[in-house]
Amino acid sequence: MLKLIQIIESARANFVSADWRHEYKGEAAALYCEGDIEGCLYCFEVKQSAAVADQEAEQAIEALIRGDIVAACSHLESARSIELEWGDAPAYGPAHAALEAAAAV
């Protein structure tokens, strides 16, 4: 269980903002942002989604500690789905797969 919690914690640390190149949304003269231009509305929206995904991941950890792997999988699936709204799921996708594999055992 500790290894699964560590995997989830790692995912939480990796999806926190829009640190990839994206079109800038805001009032600055920039065309593109990589998470480093203040006022980018895209970054703001991603950070809001990441915060919700983080709450889902926290609930997944709490469910794991209670021994409820089904609830943990559900919460992590929610986190993965939120991340997928922004492209792929490089953080929560593998974490969810690891949890699903553990649940299948």
pLDDT of 90 reads: 87
The whole-number pLDDT of residue 105 equals 77
Element (H, E) at 67: none
Digitized pLDDT (tens) for each residue of the chain, 105 residues in all: 889 999 999 999 988 888 888 888 888 777 888 888 888 999 999 999 999 999 999 999 999 999 999 999 999 999 999 999 988 778 899 999 999 998 887
CA distances from 37 to 2, 43, 80, 83 (A): 37, 9, 26, 21
- The pLDDT score that the predictor gives to residue 20 is 86
The residues spanned by each domain of the chain are 2-20+50-104
Provide φ and ψ at 61, rounded to 5°.
-65, -45
